Structure 1
Amino acid sequence: MSETPPSESPSTFADGIRLAVGTLSVFPVRPGVVDRRAGGIAMTVAPIVGGLFGAVAGVVLTLALWLGVTPLPASVLAVGTLALLTRGLHLDGLADLADGLGSGKPAEQALDIMKRSDIGPFGVVTLVFTLLIQVGTLSEATTAGVGPIALVTACVTGRLALTWACLAGIPSARPGGLGSMVAGTVRRGVALVMTVLVLAGTTALAFSSHGDTFTSWLPISSFTTFVPAYAGDGILLGHDMMSGFEGGGILSTSPALGGSGIPAWWGFPVAVLVGLLVAWALRRRAVRRLGGVTGDVLGALVETATAAALVACVIVA
Structure 2
Amino acid sequence: MPDRAIDALRMALGTLTALPVPAPRVIDRSVAAGAMLLAPLAAVPLAVLAGLVVLAGDALGLPALAVAGIAVGAVGLASRGLHLDGLADTADGLGASFDRARALEIMRRGDSGPTGVATLALVLIVQTGSLAGAISGGHGVPAAVGGVLVSRWVLALCCTRGVPSARPDGLGAAVAGSIRLPWTVLTLCAAAGLATLVPGLPWWRGPLVVAAAVAAAGLVLWRCTARLGGITGDVLGACVEFGATAAWLALAP
TM-score w.r.t. length of structure 1: 0.77
Aligned Cα root-mean-square deviation (Å): 1.2
What corresponds to 1:286 in structure 2? 224
Shift of residue 265 of structure 1?
Answer: 3.0
What corresponds to 1:158 in structure 2? 151
What corresponds to 1:98 in structure 2? 91
AA paired with 2:210?
Answer: V
Shift of residue 50 of structure 1?
Answer: 2.7
AA paired with 1:25?
Answer: T
Distance in 1 (alpha carbons) for counterparts of 2:165 and 2:99: 16
Shift of residue 97 of structure 1?
Answer: 0.3
Distance in 2 (alpha carbons) for counterparts of 1:27 and 1:180: 24
AA paired with 2:235?
Answer: V
AA paired with 2:217?
Answer: A
- Percent identity between the two aligned chains: 40
Distance in 2 (alpha carbons) for counterparts of 1:117 and 1:137: 28
Distance in 1 (alpha carbons) for counterparts of 2:193 and 2:56: 27
AA paired with 1:28?
Answer: P
Distance in 1 (alpha carbons) for counterparts of 2:191 and 2:45: 13
Shift of residue 49 of structure 1?
Answer: 2.2
AA paired with 2:87?
Answer: L
What corresponds to 1:48 in structure 2? 41
Q: Is the 8 A contact 2:54 2:144 kept in 1?
A: no
1:17 paired residue among 9, 17, 24 = 9
Shift of residue 185 of structure 1?
Answer: 0.5
Distance in 1 (alpha carbons) for counterparts of 2:46 and 2:145: 8
The equivalences for 1:1-317 within 5 A come to 12-32=4-24, 33-204=26-197, 206=198, 209-210=199-200, 264-315=202-253
Aligned length: 250
Structure 2, unpaired ranges of 5+: none
Distance in 1 (alpha carbons) for counterparts of 2:204 and 2:143: 12
AA paired with 1:190?
Answer: W
Larger Rg: 1
159-168 or 43-52: bigger deviation? 43-52
Q: Is the 8 A contact 1:21 1:27 kept in 2?
A: yes
Q: Is the 8 A contact 2:151 2:243 kept in 1?
A: yes
Secondary structure at the aligned position of 2:71 is classed as: helix
Secondary structure at the aligned position of 2:18 is classed as: coil
